[in-house]
């Protein structure tokens, strides 16, 4: 199945092309979730979410809509995937309301660019992640792109995040039963969108789920691209 959305949803600048002109901000998620089926949450990079906030999110979105939180910076940047971190367990536990309601998508672990490959650290960290939690890793140092790393990810059904970047070309290697793409351009040519459509259709056939997140920024194009992608992938190729 294809899940497509953006990295965030609370942007008044998306009016009027995506959000209706008079829609109040408290109804943004409700409207977003009526057109797209997942969202990547950047908020959790700096704060563990309270249960009341998660309940509000679930109330404002339909069954089947998934939330994909970015792991807290204390895990990825400060702790650097420390396996015995109490905060890691606290953070993962904070997501239990989403998990219990089957509304939790993959957790994105975005590592800092100066975090170089360490197979023992990666394997040790994944060994303490509760079974059943989907994890995607965005490595931003090229030393991680190696067959041995892919095998560690495969062992734990963790995805290699395919994050678009001008600085690096991430290999599109499937390491899990789902794929996770982060598309960072603010604009795509018709040719680029056709190429993306073809790739996503193939990945949908090869995996259980494909997650695609467009950049949000100050314009609604990412949300509109995600909506178009969902529509076109559902059509017969």
- Say which CATH number the domain at 182 has: 3.20.20.410
Domain carrying residue 66: 2-234
- What's the DSSP call for residue 219? S
CA distance linking residue 230 with residue 124, whole number of Å: 36
Q: What pLDDT shows up at residue 218? A: 82
DSSP 114: T
pLDDT score at 114: 94
Which residue is listed with tokens 């509000």? Answer: 56
Residue 165 is predicted with a pLDDT of: 74
**Alpha carbons 214 and 225: distance in angstroms, whole number:** 8
Report pLDDT for 92.
94
Q: In the block, which residue shows the tokens 């971190």?
A: 85
Confidence (pTM):
0.94
- pLDDT, position 145: 94
Is-contact 125 98, C-beta < 8 A?
no
DSSP string, 42-62: SGGGT-PPPHHHHHHHHHTS-
CA distance linking residue 172 with residue 163, whole number of Å: 9
**Integer Cα distance of 225 and 184 in angstroms:** 12
Residue among 96, 77, 84, 86 at smallest CA distance from 125: 84
> In the numeric block, which tokens belong to residue 126?
């994944």
Total number of domains constituting the chain:
1
147: Cβ contacts below 8 Å, ≥ 6 apart: none
Q: What is the pLDDT of residue 123?
A: 96
In sequence order, which residues have a C-beta less than 8 Å from that of residue 163 and are 6 or more positions away? Answer: 110, 138, 140, 170, 181, 182, 184
For the chain, the residue count is 237
Separation of alpha carbons 38 and 174, rounded Å: 21
Q: Which pLDDT belongs to residue 84? A: 84
pLDDT tens for the chain, 237 residues long, are 999 999 999 999 999 999 999 999 999 999 999 999 999 999 999 999 999 999 999 999 999 999 999 999 999 999 999 988 899 999 999 999 999 999 999 999 999 999 999 999 999 999 999 989 999 999 999 999 999 999 999 999 999 999 987 667 788 999 999 999 999 887 888 899 899 999 999 999 999 999 999 987 788 999 999 999 999 998 765
Q: Which residues 6+ apart lie within 8 Å of 236 measured at CB?
A: none
**pLDDT computed for residue 120 by the predictor:** 96
Q: How far apart are the first and last CA of the chain?
A: 15
Inter-CA distances, 59 with 53, 56, 92, 177, 187, Å: 10, 5, 21, 28, 32
pLDDT of residue 237: 58
């Amino acid at each position: 199945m294809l899940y497509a959305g953006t990295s965030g949803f609370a942007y008044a600048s998306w009016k009027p092309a995506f959000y209706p002109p008079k829609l109040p901000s408290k109804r943004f998620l409700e409207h977003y979730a009526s057109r797209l089926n997942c969202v990547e949450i950047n908020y959790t990079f700096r704060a563990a979410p309270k249960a009341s906030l998660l309940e509000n999110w679930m109330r404002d979105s339909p069954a089947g809509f998934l939330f994909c939180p970015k792991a807290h910076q204390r895990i990825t940047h400060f702790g650097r995937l420390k396996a015995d971190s109490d905060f890691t367990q606290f953070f993962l536990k904070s997501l239990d309301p989403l998990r219990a309601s089957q509304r939790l998508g993959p957790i994105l672990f975005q590592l800092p660019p100066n975090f170089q490959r360490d197979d023992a650290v990666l394997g040790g960290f994944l060994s303490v992640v509760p079974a059943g939690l989907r994890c995607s890793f965005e490595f931003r140092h090229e030393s991680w792109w190696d067959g041995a790393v892919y095998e560690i990810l495969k062992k734990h059904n963790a995805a290699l995040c395919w994050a678009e970047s001008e600085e690096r070309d991430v290999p599109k290697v499937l390491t899990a039963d789902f794929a996770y793409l982060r598309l960072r351009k603010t604009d795509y040519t018709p040719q680029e969108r056709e190429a993306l459509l073809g790739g996503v259709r193939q990945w949908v056939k090869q995996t259980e789920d494909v997650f695609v997140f467009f950049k949000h920024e100050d314009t609604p194009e990412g949300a509109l691209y995600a909506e178009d992608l969902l529509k076109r992938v559902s059509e017969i190729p």
